[in-house]
Amino acid sequence: MSIRIGIYGYGNLGRGVESAIKQNPDMELVAVFTRRNPAEVKINTATALVCHTDDAKNMTDKIDVMILCGGSATDLPTQTPLIASMFNCIDSFDTHAKIPEHFSNVDATAKKSGKVAIISCGWDPGMFSLNRLYASAILPDGEDYTFWGKGVSQGHSDAIRRIEGVLDARQYTIPVPKALDAVRSGSAPSLTTRQKHTRECFVVAEEGADKARIEKEIVTMPNYFADYDTTVHFISKDELDRDHKNLPHGGFVIRSGSTGENGKNKHIIEYSLKLDSNPEFTSSVLVCYARAAYKMNAEGQSGCKTVFDVAPSYLTTKSGEEIRKAML
Amino acid sequence: MSIRIGIYGYGNLGRGVESAIKQNPDMELVAVFTRRNPAEVKINTATALVCHTDDAKNMTDKIDVMILCGGSATDLPTQTPLIASMFNCIDSFDTHAKIPEHFSNVDATAKKSGKVAIISCGWDPGMFSLNRLYASAILPDGEDYTFWGKGVSQGHSDAIRRIEGVLDARQYTIPVPKALDAVRSGSAPSLTTRQKHTRECFVVAEEGADKARIEKEIVTMPNYFADYDTTVHFISKDELDRDHKNLPHGGFVIRSGSTGENGKNKHIIEYSLKLDSNPEFTSSVLVCYARAAYKMNAEGQSGCKTVFDVAPSYLTTKSGEEIRKAML
């Protein structure tokens, strides 16, 4: 019998989840839930329903795990606790500073309902978090470094779009090769924000807009750009659509640590991702952790979990015997 | 209260474990167990005892986790099941083909004793296995690649030493850069054994030995060298001791996979290790999984486990709240 999945929210991430489910033969998409008029939402799975989010409460016996695909700013803080009161569920909540609060809200409703809710699943938070934990547990005497990119930061792209005279924009975060090399050398350098990443912006300006002003507003923008070396390129809308329509991303988690007498032996643990599509990769992580939520709940577990609480064997379709034989 | 550790077997790995325990303030080395005369074994921890292996059975109330540091060929197949009948324990059993049998033997005694035994911990099997599992669960449509090195293979070095006329030898396994690049490009190449790794040998020959014969015996040796491009360098004993006394190792686990419509988006997940000391890094992995064995048993779990069965949160000294705040 398949694991019956619901998708709650149907944007980039929801479509990525729909696509990822097709790569996992033990899963079946039952329904997509939307706040729009269901009759106007077209999906890519002929056998699945499109329902209004209000109808989710009537489908608790038809869905094993709900995958929440809303945004962290306004959707998930209320949606995940609500859905966890009815379903096993999983989200990609990524506002790092608010994770403790979100965890506590979701834990309360999931414990009451007896369901498993896994929050903050994706690659950061998610796989990068896992690698920070594993590496620091193995090498307690050491330093962690996380680099992001090269990839599109949607938050930074949005910030540029809000500037007067800007029609559209795409911002790439780029790790500084010299900084990566220094970390990999084992020298455990102290690196400033500016030394770790540069930012490159492709901007479509309105006709006749003051480009010098736009550029200045970008590079001096506090929090987003002021602490970085930022390059701004003005391009046409056609160029933006042709060369910058994808959402690639990725990055590096590196731990540099030492062992032995006086720490004489150095070790470097490096995890990296190079992703053509940030939302599709995040979706793929969500889908395999949805399997974990289902299995853990079937064993009687409940409450809020994160990737730290999930034994890797829950992620796969294979049995313990098979993975010990084939992968260990 | 500290986690009280015993070390069972005191070679390179046992000394590495002793050293790693000093980096983990929640642990305390209680005793080293040796088959030699304890009076003749000097250790580096003033507060710990040196005992004979026969005395382990009298110390079940003094040790929380026994870390087995014997060899996979002849020690661990009998030692781990025996020790698991008395203690929580952990080993680095690395004979891949015999893991299912070893698991089953250890599981039987650990279930009976109510202890947790984690087998095959280190980096391969161990961290590399974990990364194969995570990456294949996230990207089911893809290919796995494992490369080893650059590093010293002790098995291959030993094989050379058994050749007549050889006094000493050191063999390095080296991944082929072109093969690594092909995998990272996302082209999912099919690679032969010869295309993935080369082997480089540093050999000290007896005076007057027939070097041409030795070289030929090395490069044609079945299983070990015949399927590889192998280079042989004859050097002096002094050079070997000066330039090749360490045991560096490492490698790469890379998954190349695709998502989306017709698999149009490619993703690369790469995990790599660059280790100055293979035994000290393996020891560090053993020590943090010893903490997991202790915590899991304290929760009432028992039986044989592998890295696949251990939720990452068990590896750290920090609370769930702390890791969610600092690492997620």
ipTM of the modeled complex: 0.96
Which residues lie across from A171 on neighbouring strands? A201
Cβ atoms A241, A210 nearer than 8 A: no
Residue A26 in contact with partner chain B when CB distance is under 8 A:
no
Structure tokens at A39: 């009759």
Query: With an 8 Å Cβ cutoff, are B268 and A273 in contact?
Result: yes
Mutation target for A interface from B102, B181, B267, B294: give the one with most A CBs within 10 A. B267
pLDDT tens, residue order, chain A (328 aa)? 899 999 999 999 999 999 999 999 999 999 999 999 999 999 999 999 999 999 999 999 999 999 999 999 899 999 999 999 999 999 999 998 999 999 999 999 999 999 999 999 999 999 999 999 999 999 999 999 999 999 999 889 999 999 999 999 999 999 999 999 999 999 999 999 999 999 999 999 999 999 999 999 999 999 899 999 999 999 999 999 999 999 999 999 999 999 998 899 999 999 999 999 999 999 999 999 999 999 999 999 999 999 999 999 999 999 999 999 999 9
Scanning the structure block, which residue is given the tokens 């995958």? Answer: A67
A223 Rama class: left (phi>0) / alpha (psi -120 to 50) / beta: left
The verdict on a CB contact (< 8 Å) between A138 and B284 is yes
Report the residue of chain B nearest A285, measured CA to CA. B138
Buried b or exposed e, range B267-290, using 16+ CB within 10 angstroms: bbbbbbbbbbbbbbbbbbbbbbbb
User: Which residues touch A195 (CB under 8 Å, ≥6 apart)?
Assistant: A176, A178, A179
Residues in A 1-20 with any Cβ partner in B closer than 8 A: 16, 19-20
With contact defined as beta carbons under 8 Å apart, do B255 and B142 qualify? yes
d(CA B120, CA B207) in angstroms, rounded, equals 41
Residue of A187, A267, A280 to mutate for B, most B C-beta atoms under 10 A: A267
**Average pLDDT, stretch B320-325?**
96
B244-275 residue pLDDT tens? 999 999 999 999 999 998 899 999 999 999 99
Structure tokens at A125: 């938070």
Cα dihedral sign, B129-B134-B135-B139: positive
Check CB contact of A306 with chain B, cutoff 8 Å.
yes
Report whether pLDDT(B302) > 90. yes
> Residues for chain B: how many in total?
328
pLDDT tens per residue, range B22-47: 999 999 999 999 999 999 999 999 99
B178 touches chain A (CB under 8 A): no
- The answer to whether A305 touches A116, Cβ cutoff 8 Å, is yes
| Interchain proximity A315–B137, CB inside 8 Å | yes
Digit-coded pLDDT (tens) for B160-177: 999 999 999 999 999 999
Q: Which amino acid is at B71?
A: G
Q: How many C-beta atoms surround the C-beta of residue B298 within 10 A?
A: 12
Cα–chain center distance at B17:
12
**What pLDDT, in 10s, does the model give residues B88-114?**
999 999 998 999 999 999 999 999 999
Q: What is the C-alpha separation between A27 and A30, in angstroms, rounded?
A: 9
| Chain A residues within 8 A of B184 when measuring between CB atoms | 274
Give the pLDDT band (50/70/90) at residue B1. Answer: confident
| CB-defined contacts A:B, below 8 A | 205
Judged by a CB distance cut-off of 8 A, whether residue B300 touches chain A is no
Q: Which residue has the tokens 């490009």?
A: B185
Cross-chain residue pair A103–B276, CB shorter than 8 Å: no
- Residue contact A328–B96, C-beta within 8 A: yes
Contact criterion met (CB < 8 Å) for B311 and A315: no
Check if B288 contacts A (Cβ < 8 Å).
yes
Overall pTM > 0.90: yes
Which H or E run includes A4?
Answer: strand A3-8
pLDDT single digits (tens) B58-79: 999 999 999 999 999 899 999 9
How far apart are alpha carbons B156 and B221 in whole angstroms?
Answer: 10
Please state the separation of Cα A120 from the chain's center in Å.
Answer: 8
The reported pLDDT for the residue numbered A216 is: 97
Contact A103 B134 (CB under 8 A): no
Tokens for B321? 């709240």
Chain A, window 119-158: residues with a beta carbon less than 8 angstroms from a chain B beta carbon: 120, 125, 127, 129-134, 136-141
Nearest to A123 by CA among A310, A272, A311: A272
pLDDT band at B57 (very low <50, low <70, confident <90, very high): very high
- Burial of residue A56 (number of CB atoms within 10 Å: 0-12, 13-18, 19+): buried
CB within 8 Å of A17: residues ≥ 6 apart: A5, A7, A67, A69, A283, A286, A287
Neighbours of B37 (CB within 10 A): 9
SS3 B17: helix
Residue of B nearest to A265 (CA): B276
Tell whether B95 lies on the interface with A, counting CB pairs under 8 A. no
**What is the nearest CA distance from A83 to chain B, expressed in angstroms?**
21
Return the CA Rg of chain B: 22
CA distance B278 to B282: 6
